[in-house]
Structure 1
């Protein structure tokens, strides 16, 4: 679906951030891209839908290339992006107006715009706020509106670029639950994150290390042992707890990396 072929990127007068990256993202995946700060995670995200262009190599969505300006509009319609701060994506004063803006840009008739806004707000459990002032919403609610604005144009892929990092625990859980639901309904999810606790949601993880891929595989395999060999990559709290219990002789599988699995195995030992 999305193909990186020998992609390198550098900003003017700076060394390359990304070096010869080659990988594919498949339909329906839930991919998390992680790594230390400044390693190039957000750069990779912006290369996916043409917000940035490779210095070398090629990025494609299906049969379309991000370096072809005539194809960029279609690529960005099918690959939506939700940023860290939802306020950066708000363009109008009310929820309805904000939602309608993107649909007007793709020239939908007014009746269809109204129908899509209502359907999408219902999908993210925000229909009751259709006439609300966007500035009156909580951070989690604003992020759900940002997601709804992307969903309304019917994308096949949604990139979440640190989209939960500014939210309180309740807002974060609301957004993660929505992301999980969208993936279960067939939307390809790409999560750019530094939060190791979120990785249990993913079906696949790519770890960036010095501008290259340091790991590409499942969360279970990464946190079984391999994470220890990647500089600067911290394990989730559950993995530290698992390893501490194992070091004390408690017979737990080395593949545990989420709370549900840990509780289940501890219950069986009780």
Structure 2
């Protein structure tokens, strides 16, 4: 079975189902000459990448025993080193905040947050051995009110906060941490579950707005996954430079890319939270519901 050539850099990517960002990242890293280790929960989704010469590993990032087994297998493949770990696996969650099922929310945190923590802990020794790079997946929604995405955005904000601390804690060991602030990207994300309104939802009478939001990431200035992957791989392979110049000439600590990402970066960085909130209000069209509620209140007063 395949092993890295002497001096060849290695990269492990989680969540590599065809049609998604992880799959596109594997293709792009292979084009750049890296030894790619794609992972996914289901072996059958890895067949295409294996046929392209990649060394696939079955991995359920929510299971401790699966992570331990994957670590052992990867260490044997690479000789005890890993240059890049891309924590891409994730779960969407589209529900109004007042409709959330907490068991479902816990599963989303398990997939989007706790698995990232578990993977970083498990693979720290291999990354230290190569003075490698961790890439954790957050989202521009972590700094913007992504309507009907309260649970999802909470997980992505948690990843960003965790990664900031991880960055300084791993610095003494020569391991870098990069965070993707991902905008809208065309992927298989819209095929996931958690996309319905309960019968007693406060938002049933604007169900059309909810359905608009369900496909938002796939229809609003959305970027092809291949374009996103090409830019992320390019940035991740740039040299390490002084912090002051890093975003312009080297590997950035924060990667803002995808549909609307640059706009939100500008709003968040220079105009402030109030502006982002103000701009988001018409985007998700909830003034329609507000008018309905105001009319209801008016009718109650007349009754």
Query: What is the TM-score of this pair, normalised by structure 1?
Result: 0.33
Whichever structure has more helix as a proportion of its residues is 2
More strand by share: 1
